[in-house]
A and B are shown apart, each in its own frame.
Chain A
Amino acid sequence: MDLTGHFIGRNIISFRDLTKDEIEYILQKAFEVKNRQHENALAGKVLATLFFEPSTRTRLSFEAAITSIGGRFFGIADSSSSSIMKGETLKDTIKTVSGYCDAIIMRHPYEGAARAAADVSSVPIINAGDGANQHPTQALLDLFTIKETFGNIDGLNIGLMGDLKYGRTVHSLSMALAHYNVKLTLIAPKLLRMPKDVKEHLQSRNVAYDEIECINEECKKLDVIYVTRIQKERFGDLQEYERVAGSYKISKATLADLNPNVKIMHPLPRVDEIDPDVDDTPNALYFHQAHNGIPVRQALVSLVTGAIK
């Protein structure tokens, strides 16, 4: 299917909206960007980065992505900006800002905010995270990294570990992986298991998955372990947190019991769920993964603004 020009003016809100062909097209463009086939593509384009809740990595990644291929940006870095503090609604902010730019990249603490913004925006909205819901650009860079590392995504055994209940990155990634022929292992404490509707989505796509509570013998077959942080505040009982948290950490000792070629991924920031002694091993993929946010976001912003067809 020829998708040339297909993304011009398109909102990127959720993986529910993307077909496999569309995902593959975005990844293909991201590879082209990484291979320097679209240098200065965003020249003359102005982007708004509206971060209604604080973010370091995603905001910096977008801003670096925009400027390094010739685009310019303006924006807000948190919701203490004056009009929002004065009680302006999200829709009014978007109606105003969309008149100043070619696309809006937004993060918001409330689920559905990006979709609500898209309802009234005159320019494309790229969702950079809406509450616990979706974070599609993170999942795209995760797919990109897996594809770049393994050559393809089909046929892989992928473990998702940690806070699978509240982590929006694993929700988006699960939906993305549902387009591929993969086997998933969901590794989480009972309290933080993958939500029912995400699992139903996997079932509806015939994606095989296992649910386990901690790394076991079966995990030796995993090609990737995608680690997410378990936050203390999710547990009412801190003793319970202390009891389970250790089971979801990756160290050199853990690696010794896994597939020697397993790749460890993480959306970052990590706290202590991956021991720094893993960083220098060939298994560590997480910083490379973070750096891949640049070409993926460059491709996305360029596609929706028409800078790349």
Chain B
Amino acid sequence: MSSNSQRSFKVYKIDNGTVIDHINSSMALKIIDILEIKKDGIVSIGMNFDSAVTGKKDIIKIENVHLDKKHTDMIAIFSPQATINIIKDSEVVEKRQVEVPKVINKVLRCPNPTCVTNKYHDCDSKFIVEHYDENQTYGRCYYCERETLITPDLVK
């Protein structure tokens, strides 16, 4: 079987749902964690595909779920070049970029062990994005006020 004929089995086309493309290589699983979509529809993940833009990329396809902008902007924390395609009736009805959000609620843990968010189960984390570029995002914990480089290991 040629590599081309295998292609359709690697990441098959969806008729309805959301396709997240151009995810930084190996970040797909973290992004699934951030988006909390494990229980939403059928989720297909493709990792380490060749990409003309980034060398390697990951892809996520979520069937029958249309993720809104607020939801998908969280992806930009670890994959600012990702693109979102909303599919309806086999057509791309919306294509958009992700933007780093101003506030990141709940999905990260504060690296400061004595931050109140690490001590009480009813204190959710909250980070205010201070500055970012293509490779790095820095956030300040809303509670303990410490600035931190946001890295994948901080995803809860």
Across the interface, B143 reaches (CB within 8 A) one of A109, A111, A132, namely A111
- Asked if A147 lies at the interface with its beta carbon under 8 angstroms from chain B, I say no
B39 smallest CB distance to A (angstroms): 27
A27 to B39, CA, bound (A): 55
* B145 at the A interface (CB under 8 A): yes
> Is B143 in contact with A115, judged by CB distance below 8 angstroms?
yes
Q: Which of B101-125 contact A (CB under 8 A)?
A: 112, 114-117, 119-123
Given the complex of chains A and B, what is the CA–CA distance between A109 and B114 in angstroms?
8
> Cβ of A116 and Cβ of B123 under 8 Å apart?
yes
Residue of A nearest to B110 (CB): A112
Contacts of B141 in A (CB 8 A): 112
Contact A115 to B147, CB < 8 A, known contacts A89-B120, A109-B114: no
Give the distance in Å from the alpha carbon of A112 to the alpha carbon of B110 in the complex.
11
A132→B141 CA distance, assembly (Å): 14
Interface string of A107-120 (1 = CB under 8 A from B): 01111110110000
Q: In the complex, what's the smallest C-beta–C-beta distance from B98 to chain A, in angstroms?
A: 27
Q: Does B95 contact A (CB under 8 A)?
A: no
Taking CB atoms and an 8 Å cut-off, the chain B residues in 78-133 that contact chain A are 112, 114-117, 119-123
Please indicate which of the listed interface residues B112, B122, B142, B143 has the most CB atoms of chain A within 10 Å of its own CB. B143
What count of chain B residues pass the 8 Å CB interface test? 17
A residues near B32, Cβ cutoff 8 Å: none
Known: A16-B145, A197-B147. A110 touches B116 (CB 8 A): yes
Asked if A145 is an interface residue, CB under 8 A from chain B, the answer is no
Contact pattern, A 57-89, Cβ under 8 Å of B = 1, otherwise 0: 000000000000000000000000000000001
Tell whether A101 is near chain B: CB-to-CB under 8 Å: no
Given A90-B123, A91-B122, A91-B123: A112 in contact with B147 (beta carbons within 8 A): no
Bound-state CA distance A74–B141 (Å) is 31
Q: In chain A, what residue has the closest Cβ to B119? A: A110
A133-B144, A197-B146 as given contacts; A111 in contact with B120, CB under 8 Å: no
CA distance A132 to B117 in the complex (A): 15
Chain B residues, CB < 8 A from A9: none
Main secondary structure of the interface of A (DSSP, over half): mixed
Chain B residues positioned under 8 Å from A138 (CB to CB) = none
Which residues does chain B contribute within 8 Å of A132, judged by CB atoms?
114
**Complex Cα–Cα for A116 and B120 (A):** 10
* A111-B115 in contact given A197-B146, A197-B147 (Cβ < 8 Å): yes
A88, chain B: closest CB distance, angstroms? 10
From residue A169, how far is it (CB to closest CB) to chain B in Å? 15
List A residues 110-145 near B (Cβ within 8 Å).
110-113, 115-116, 130-134
Which chain A residues in 208-229 approach chain B with CB under 8 Å? none
A305 interfacial by beta-carbon distance below 8 Å? no
**Inter-chain contacts of B146 with A (CB < 8 A):** 111, 197
B:32-83 near A, CB below 8 Å: none
Closest residue on chain A to residue B128 by CB atoms? A16
A134 to B143, CA, bound (A): 11
List the 8 shortest-distance A-B pairs measured between CB atoms, nearest first.
Answer: A112-B143, A111-B144, A112-B116, A112-B144, A110-B116, A113-B116, A197-B147, A116-B116
Give the interface of B toward A (CB within 8 A).
Answer: 112, 114-117, 119-123, 141-147
Interface residues of A (CB under 8 A from B): 14, 16, 89-92, 108-113, 115-116, 130-134, 197, 200
11 contacts between A and B (CB under 8 A): A16-B145, A89-B123, A110-B115, A111-B114, A111-B115, A111-B145, A112-B115, A112-B116, A115-B143, A116-B120, A133-B144
A14-B145, A112-B143, A197-B147 known; 9 new pairs, CB 8 Å cut-off, are A89-B121, A89-B123, A110-B119, A111-B114, A111-B116, A111-B143, A115-B143, A132-B114, A197-B146
